[in-house]
């Protein structure tokens, strides 16, 4: 992941509501293994969503990557010297239902078109988003903008030297 990419996991609101009496502020995340891990698959399991609902919608926003696509893995990528947006969906190998869905928006993109299109998809499909800290976010640009301002990606783009110096 490039430092200028802002990560969001997609979480189905239906799955959250099936699992909890109310929408929690956060979902448990773990990065002790050096990999980002969360409980998002629990909510997708509750929602039992087929990937066919979403593939054409995402295809209209970003091109499919030409690697690692299979019956259980779908990847999208826009990459150039000036732009690096991507998305991925992983399915359960037995049920072929969505288990994990996330994307990374390049904060250098003028107008943040990819991010705004994904937020619009979230509104249409009744999704919520989860940032790297596990905070659940409504599909609303103003809400997500606050999370972006607290992200390492934003801190780096705002002041690269200051950000790198803060890492010791």
Tell me: the pLDDT tens digits for 100-138?
A: 999 999 999 999 999 999 999 999 999 999 998 889 999
Q: How far apart are CA 107 and CA 83, in angstroms?
A: 9
Q: How far apart are CA 21 and CA 24, in angstroms?
A: 9
Report the SS3 class of residue 163.
helix
> What total number of domains does the chain contain?
1
Domain, as residue range, for 19: 5-166
Exposed/middle/buried for 167, CB within 10 Å: 0-12, 13-18, 19+?
exposed
Q: How far apart are CA 85 and CA 104, in angstroms?
A: 6
Its pTM stands at 0.90
CATH number at residue 77: 3.30.310
**pLDDT at position 35:** 45
**pLDDT at position 68:** 76
Tell me the average confidence (pLDDT) per consecutive run of 10 residues in the chain, 168 residues long. 90 92 82 56 87 92 88 91 93 92 96 97 96 93 96 91 85
């Amino acid at each position: 992941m490039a430092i200028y990419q802002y990560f969001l996991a997609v979480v189905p609101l239906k799955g959250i509501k099936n699992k909890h009496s109310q929408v929690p502020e956060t979902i448990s995340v773990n990065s002790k293994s050096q990999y980002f891990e969360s409980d998002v698959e629990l909510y997708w399991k509750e929602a039992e969503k087929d990937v066919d609902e979403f593939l054409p919608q995402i295809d209209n926003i970003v091109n499919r990557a030409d690697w690692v696509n299979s019956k259980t893995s779908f990847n999208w990528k826009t990459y150039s010297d000036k732009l690096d947006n991507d998305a991925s969906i992983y399915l359960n190998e037995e049920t072929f239902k969505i288990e994990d869905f996330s994307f990374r928006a390049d904060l250098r993109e003028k107008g943040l078109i990819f991010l705004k299109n994904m937020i619009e998809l979230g509104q249409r499909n009744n999704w919520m988003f989860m940032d790297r800290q596990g905070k659940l976010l409504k599909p609303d640009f103003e809400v997500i903008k606050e999370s972006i301002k607290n992200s390492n990606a934003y801190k780096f783009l705002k002041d690269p030297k200051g950000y790198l110096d803060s890492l010791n």
